[in-house]
């Protein structure tokens, strides 16, 4: 009987803990919305709007301040939105911009090559495809839209990985890398060599590294300041995109990347 009671108590405690966590997140978001609406506010104002004790509001503000999402004006004690919000908003804006500007470029690359063209951006430790267009030869091609793919086993992923800050790049390249096919690069030294080549050549290739029978090429898309914000490339079956054809397709991807970079404000 006691074991059953203990288990029920643990489940009840877990539910209360989960509910408390959701409530804390909801309150933190509400604080950001309050500051966005009022420009600045003190602990008392925020606690009254949230309907919580001042100590609770202070704890929430403390966490947000630690993350750089809010800042405090020391003299008056008022809180306002911090630079961290701009960082998050900037990342979202870049995705929106590259999606809008990339649509005609992605379509043109698919038409030019006859294969499936994709635009991918970095999403933590993976590449996520945010746009896709299919060429005439790729009518039955796999749908990559919205799919997160490994950085080390895809052309777009290698491009994004090659242009990360050195410490972050090394951290991702040195960890245990999953093998998807017999061609997947899992040795850090071999991957580093390809990343160096990708940075120097301006494009990356993958040959049956994610799936047998699938090859791809990709090139970096740059923002106005030169930072790599995405990758554009083409993928298709190895019998059409043979290794001998990859350099030709890579040149087309580089051209498309240059056009999209220009649209994103990069001087070229």
Digit-coded pLDDT (tens) for 243-255: 999 999 999 999 9
Tell how strand 148-150 and strand 70-73 pair up: unpaired
Taking the C-alpha atoms of residue 178 and residue 191, their distance in angstroms, rounded to an integer, is 13
13-93 placed in CATH 1.10.10.10 = yes
Taking the C-alpha atoms of residue 209 and residue 215, their distance in angstroms, rounded to an integer, is 8
**Per-residue confidence (pLDDT) for residue 136, from 0 to 100:** 86
For 95-264, the fitting CATH number among 3.40.50.150, 3.90.1150.10, 3.30.450.40, 3.20.19.10 is 3.30.450.40
**Per-residue confidence (pLDDT) for residue 173, from 0 to 100:** 87
Contacts 24+ apart (CB under 8 A), 111-116: 111/135, 111/136, 112/252, 112/256, 113/234, 113/236, 113/249, 113/252, 114/138, 114/240, 115/141, 115/234, 115/235, 115/236, 115/240, 115/241, 115/249, 116/141, 116/142, 116/144, 116/234, 116/235, 116/236
> In angstroms, what CA-CA distances link 250 with 14, 117, 188, 241?
52, 12, 24, 11
Whose structure tokens read 């043109």? 108
Residue extents of the structural domains in the chain:
13-93, 95-264
pTM for this entry: 0.66
**Per-residue confidence (pLDDT) for residue 16, from 0 to 100:** 46
Q: What is the pLDDT of residues 6-46, one digit of tens each?
A: 444 444 444 444 556 788 888 998 988 898 888 888 999 99
Distance from chain centroid for Cα 193 = 23
**Per-residue confidence (pLDDT) for residue 86, from 0 to 100:** 66
Instruction: Divide the 268 residues of the chain into consecutive groups of 10 and give the mean pLDDT of each group.
Output: 48 50 86 87 92 92 90 83 72 67 93 94 91 80 80 97 93 92 94 95 96 96 91 94 94 96 84
Count CB neighbours of 95 within 10 A: 16
């Amino acid at each position: 009987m006691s074991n059953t009671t203990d288990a029920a108590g643990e489940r009840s405690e877990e539910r209360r803990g989960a509910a408390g966590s959701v409530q804390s997140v909801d309150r933190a978001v509400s604080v950001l919305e309050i500051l966005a609406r009022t420009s600045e506010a003190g602990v008392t104002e925020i606690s009254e709007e949230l309907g919580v004790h001042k100590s609770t509001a202070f704890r929430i503000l403390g966490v947000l301040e630690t993350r750089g999402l809010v800042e405090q004006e020391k003299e008056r004690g008022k809180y306002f939105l911090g630079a961290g919000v701009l960082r998050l908003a900037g990342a979202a804006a870049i995705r929106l911009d590259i999606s809008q500007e990339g649509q005609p470029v992605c379509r043109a690359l698919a038409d030019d090559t006859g294969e499936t063209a994709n635009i991918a951006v970095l999403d933590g430790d993976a590449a996520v495809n945010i746009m896709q267009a299919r060429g005439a030869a790729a009518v039955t091609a796999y749908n990559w839209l919205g799919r997160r793919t490994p950085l080390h086993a895809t052309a777009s992923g290698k491009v994004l990985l090659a242009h990360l800050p050195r410490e972050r790049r090394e951290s991702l390249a040195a960890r245990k890398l999953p093998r998807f096919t017999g061609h997947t690069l899992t040795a850090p030294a071999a991957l580093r060599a390809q990343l160096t080549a990708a940075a120097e050549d301006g494009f990356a290739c993958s040959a049956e590294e994610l799936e047998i029978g699938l090859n791809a090429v990709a090139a970096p898309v740059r923002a106005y300041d030169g930072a790599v914000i995405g990758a554009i490339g083409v993928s298709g079956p190895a019998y059409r995109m043979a290794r001998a054809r990859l350099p030709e397709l890579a040149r087309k991807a580089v051209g498309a990347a240059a056009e999209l970079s220009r649209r994103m404000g990069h001087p070229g």
